[in-house]
Amino acid sequence: MSTDNPSDPRRIETLLAIMARLRSRDGGCPWDIEQTFATIAPYTIEEAYEVADAIEQGDMRELREELGDLLFQVVFHAQMASETGTFTFDDVVQAICEKMIRRHPHVFGDETARSAGAVKGRWDEIKAEEKAAKGKPAQQSILDDVPLALPALTRAVKLQTRAARVGFDWPSTAEVLDKLNEEMLELSEVLAQGGDPDRLEDEFGDLLFVYANLARHLKVDPEAALRRTNAKFRRRFGQIEEKLAARGLSPEQSTLEEMDTLWTEAKISERES
């Protein structure tokens, strides 16, 4: 397909042609040309977060745009791979189509595969079979394939979920709360002893790990919960700034007491709205 005249913007072929043109050594974009898988990876992660943010905001128009940005990241990686003869975008599509069919025998398989009870546990079994077929070594630990690049809270939940599958878990939420109190005391002890930075980081990490476990027991996504609280903080602090501005003041020109009073007013206003 010619890359000189991209046509119908609704077709994936057009996007592929645009990407090829951007990466072309003959008249392409200098920035796009110099990129590698490693330099583009952070943008790919960022775009995934922006998709999540649009969903969180309930903004469907923004979601459409962000999904396009994320798709562009897939196309970018595929284009770079095609330039070295590693794989193409078509190969990416083929791989995911085959994987989804393979991992859903209860949908695409025969009557036996679709029977009641055939689904449970099959996803992990099929993943293990796929790895064996690729010649990958068997996992030494059930935690081996939890990605390192995941956000830390999300990875903590996944590690705990894997361990819970083999019975390594607290039976009740109450016991998680007890552990939370224990970790808080340990952090307090480090502070009382002078607050060694390395020990503080270690104990604070333990505390966050238990919080992630508590979220799992409560069936709460800790990343989503924190995003929600971040948005709430941003919204309420914005009200403080607005009210101070109406008085001809900035936060820097105000006292903590003044801002705390306005914070309480913002909380009450939200509850009453």
Of the chain, the percentage scoring pLDDT greater than 70 comes to 89
Dist CA 208 CA 223 (whole Å): 12
Dist CA 174 CA 171 (whole Å): 9
The answer on pLDDT for 138 being more than 80 is no
Question: 217 near 173, Cβ under 8 Å?
Answer: yes
How much is the pLDDT for 57?
Answer: 85
Q: Where are the domains of the chain?
A: 12-101, 104-133, 152-220, 224-272
How much is the pLDDT for 149?
Answer: 80
Dist CA 175 CA 214 (whole Å): 10
Tens of pLDDT along 3-61? 455 578 889 999 999 999 999 999 999 999 999 999 999 999 999 989 988 998 899 99
- Which numeric CATH code is attached to 12-101? 1.10.287.1080
Is it true that 12-101 and 152-220 share their CATH fold? yes
pTM of the full predicted structure? 0.65
Confidence of residue 1 (pLDDT cuts 50, 70, 90): very low
Of residues 119 and 145, the one with the higher pLDDT is 145
How much is the pLDDT for 130?
Answer: 72
Tens of pLDDT along 226-243? 988 998 999 999 999 999
- Please determine, looking at this structure, whether the domain spanning 152-220 carries the CATH number 1.10.287.1080: yes
